[in-house]
């Protein structure tokens, strides 16, 4: 017998397991809300017609959920709070339906992801979904969506995922920053912006990230460098044009690519220059970060760059990276490059990912971007403008992350934690990292989602390459839901105060730090509903 149900967006529907049924949900007028329609046919069904009957039909879209192999479930010691502890078929890709028709697996569950978005009328609205497959009787289900008569306040969080420019050129086989490349890139950036991202990594020079020592990634460099007769000169025109363009797409903040290599600032990034009329690499792994040659280069570059960014009214929204995640034992080399940078850009905020508090305590990093496992001393010191991040190291102790093996709840709770801990920004390293570990090779993200075994599945990217641009994932949607939860709490705080808002969260099991939260979806849904009612009543 054929089946059909409605389910929460927090449910990762497995092929073999009947979902928990959820028949209702709630949202603010300007929120983006998702629910799922899950169905099973007793034979393969193609060309399924989808019919929606609802007074808010015009605000509803839907996509097919597709499955990928979650191959690396856990690289570190686990904590038991996983959707699966063995490799499994993970629901993740959200693909628009071809010709508006859905597909159904034979004797396994299939899913449609429904999105409700727009300036909706308040009230309770029925949404009836009917599926009609060839040579079968129609099957229907109904979902009730309550729209509260208020709007979420705008987010003040600065949010970035590192954009990997070589990934687009490699996957689509297009020239970097060509017309075709830019069209695809724009799709990726628009998708990121629509999910709350408002800061973008800008490739002044090829970002020295996740690259094997001595290796290279495809050149992505927007500053044109010239060296004639031993004298440096620069053209920033392409850089400024790029920054203005991405600003038109919704980017408000710019993180300028790292001026030194990852994990300790030991070398210069790859920099290409026209030297007496011939293009060549002038700096890279073979250039010590504090060498006289690179120091001379920076003494020419940084003042000129600062002046141009100020003249274009962009400088105040730029954040500068020196080296990603410098380790404790390399603090001497970091001190040296910090001193060099501040000599020419004394008012530029150094914003680097950190696990070691001493860098911030010494004043070497103005805006610390702290791993959530090491953030406690930063919270205790009430560090200003504190950012947070997570990556492949946050696998145990119930910390949130967006791995494929994790439940959607464990992804989404980050929004509430950002609110509780008064975090100013969030960074993730992998928006579209379609490479193996250390970028030895490019990969097909539909086949490889773990860096060829070096990351947990889902760590390296959160969007897929579609035919002409980015395809969303359930993990991307869920993370954005978490950001909306954060906005809901700030909206509530404006009504009842921060202390009362924290008390409400505490009642439902949400505590300080980044790993105290209830491990059931019901608590999150209920605290959201109570917050919505409190706001609407005022």
Confidence of residue 318 (pLDDT cuts 50, 70, 90): very high
Query: Which pLDDT value is given to residue 373?
Result: 93
Average pLDDT over residues 422-441: 98
Spatial CB neighbours of 141, under 8 Å, sequence gap ≥ 6 = 4, 5, 6, 37, 128, 129
Classify the C-alpha dihedral 491-492-493-494 as positive or negative: positive
| Per-domain residue ranges of the chain | 3-151
Length reported for the chain: 538
Identify the pLDDT of residue 14.
98
Could you tell me which residue, 328 or 371, shows the higher pLDDT? 371
Residues 6+ apart with CB under 8 A from 354: 325, 326, 360, 365, 368, 369, 370, 371, 374
pLDDT of residue 395 exceeding 80: no
Q: What is the pLDDT of residue 382?
A: 93
- Residue 87 clears pLDDT 90, i.e. is over it: yes
168: which 2 tokens?
Answer: 């687009």
Q: What are phi and psi of 22, to 5 degrees?
A: -130, 125
3-state secondary structure of 33: strand
**CA gap 131, 52 in Å, rounded:** 9
Q: What integer pLDDT is reported at residue 393 of this predicted model? A: 74
Q: Answer yes or no: is pLDDT of 225 > 80.
A: yes
Q: What is the mean pLDDT of residues 150-174?
A: 98
Of the pLDDT bands very low, low, confident and very high (cuts 50, 70, 90), residue 186 is: very high
pLDDT tens readout for residues 110-132: 999 999 999 999 999 999 999 99
Instruction: Give pLDDT, residue 442.
Output: 98
Question: Considering the chain, what percentage of its residues have pLDDT values greater than 90?
Answer: 96
pLDDT tens digits along 467-518:
999 999 999 999 999 999 999 999 999 999 999 999 999 999 999 999 999 9
Other residues' Cβ atoms within 10 Å of the Cβ of residue 434: 24
Report how far residue 328's alpha carbon sits from residue 23's, in angstroms, rounded to the nearest whole number.
Answer: 51
Segment 231-254 mean pLDDT: 98
pLDDT in the model for residue 327? 87
Per-residue pLDDT of 353-374, as tens digits, reads 999 999 999 999 999 999 999 9
pLDDT at 84: 92
Section 315-335 average pLDDT: 95
pLDDT digits over 266-305, tens only?
999 999 999 999 999 999 999 999 999 999 999 999 999 9
The whole-number average pLDDT for the span 320-336 is 94
In this prediction, residue 394 has a pLDDT band, given cuts at 50, 70 and 90, of confident
Question: Tell me, what's the pLDDT at 419?
Answer: 98
When mean pLDDT is compared across 188-192, 245-249, 391-395, 446-450, the lowest value belongs to 391-395
Structure tokens at 380: 């205790």
Per-residue pLDDT, 344: 98
Give residue 329's pLDDT. 84
Q: Which residues of 348-386 are buried (b: 16+ CB within 10 A; e: fewer)?
A: bebbbbbbbbebbeeebbbbbbbbbbebeebbeeebeeb
Over the range 77-102, which residues count as b (16 or more CB within 10 Å of their CB) and which as e? eeeebbbbeeebebbbbbeeeeeeeb
Q: Please state, rounded to an integer, the average pLDDT across all residues of the chain.
A: 97
What percent of the chain clears pLDDT 70, i.e. is strictly above it? Answer: 100
Q: What is the mean pLDDT of residues 235-263?
A: 98
pLDDT score of 532: 98
Model pLDDT, residue 1: 86
Residue 80 pLDDT more than 90? Answer: no
Name the pLDDT band for 440 (thresholds 50, 70, 90): very high
User: For 10-15, what is the mean pLDDT?
Assistant: 98
CA dihedral 415, 420, 426, 429 (to 10 degrees): -70
Which CATH number is correct for 3-151, 3.40.640.10, 2.60.40.10, 2.102.10.10, 3.40.50.360? 2.60.40.10
Distance CA(342)–CA(212), nearest Å, equals 28
Q: Grade residue 147 by pLDDT with cuts at 50, 70 and 90.
A: very high
On whether the CB atoms of residues 170 and 434 are closer than 8 A, the answer is yes
Average pLDDT over residues 423-439: 98
Specify the pLDDT at position 274: 98
């Amino acid at each position: 017998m054929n089946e059909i149900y409605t389910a929460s967006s927090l449910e990762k529907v497995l092929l073999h397991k009947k979902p928990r049924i959820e028949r209702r949900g709630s949202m603010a007028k300007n929120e983006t809300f998702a629910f799922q329609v899950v169905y099973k046919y007793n034979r393969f069904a193609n060309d399924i017609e989808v019919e929606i009957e609802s007074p808010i039909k015009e605000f509803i879209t839907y996509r097919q959920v597709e499955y990928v192999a979650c191959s690396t479930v856990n690289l570190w010691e686990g904590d038991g709070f996983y959707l699966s502890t063995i490799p499994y078929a993970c629901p993740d890709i959200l693909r628009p339906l071809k010709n508006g028709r859905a597909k159904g697996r034979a004797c396994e569950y299939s899913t449609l992801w429904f999105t409700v978005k727009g300036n909706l009328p308040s009230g309770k609205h029925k949404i009836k979904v009917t599926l009609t497959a060839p040579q079968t009787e129609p099957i229907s289900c109904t979902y009730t969506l309550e729209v509260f008569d208020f709007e979420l306040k705008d987010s003040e969080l600065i949010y970035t995922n590192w954009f990997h420019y070589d990934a687009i050129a490699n996957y689509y086989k297009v020239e970097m920053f060509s017309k075709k490349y830019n069209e695809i890139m724009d799709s990726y950036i628009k998708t990121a912006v629509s999910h709350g991202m408002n800061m973008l990594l800008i490739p002044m020079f090829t970002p020295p990230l996740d690259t094997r020592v001595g290796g290279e990634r495809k050149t992505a460099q927007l500053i044109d460098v010239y060296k004639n007769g031993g004298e440096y000169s620069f053209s920033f025109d392409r850089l400024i044009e790029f920054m203005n363009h991405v600003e038109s797409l919704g980017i408000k903040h710019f993180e300028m690519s790292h001026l030194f290599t990852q994990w300790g600032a030991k070398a210069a990034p790859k920099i290409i220059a026209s030297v007496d009329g011939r293009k060549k690499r002038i700096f890279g792994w073979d250039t010590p970060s504090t060498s006289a040659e690179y120091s001379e280069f920076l003494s020419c570059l940084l003042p000129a760059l600062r002046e141009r960014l100020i003249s274009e009214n962009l400088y105040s929204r730029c954040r500068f990276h020196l080296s990603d995640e410098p380790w404790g034992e390399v603090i001497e080399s970091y001190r040296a490059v910090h001193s060099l940078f501040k000599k020419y850009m004394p008012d530029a905020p150094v914003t680097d990912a950190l696990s070691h508090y001493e860098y911030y305590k010494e004043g070497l990093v103005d805006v610390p971007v702290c791993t959530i496992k090491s953030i406690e001393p930063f919270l205790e010191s009430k560090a200003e403008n504190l950012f947070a991040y997570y990556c492949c190291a946050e696998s145990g102790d119930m910390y949130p992350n967006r791995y494929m093996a994790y439940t959607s709840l464990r992804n989404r709770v980050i929004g509430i934690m950002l609110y509780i801990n008064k975090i100013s920004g969030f960074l993730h390293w992998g928006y579209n990292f379609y490479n193996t570990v250390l970028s030895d090779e490019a990969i097909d993200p539909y086949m490889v989602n773990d860096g060829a075994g070096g990351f947990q599945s889902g760590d390296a990217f959160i969007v897929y390459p579609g035919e002409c641009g980015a395809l969303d994932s359930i993990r991307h949607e869920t993370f954005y839901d978490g950001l909306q939860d954060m906005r809901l709490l700030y909206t509530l705080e404006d009504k009842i105060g921060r202390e009362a808002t924290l008390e409400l969260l505490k009642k439902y099991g949400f505590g300080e730090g980044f790993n105290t939260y209830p491990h059931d979806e019901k608590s999150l849904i209920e605290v959201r509903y109570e917050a919505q009612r409190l706001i609407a009543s005022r």
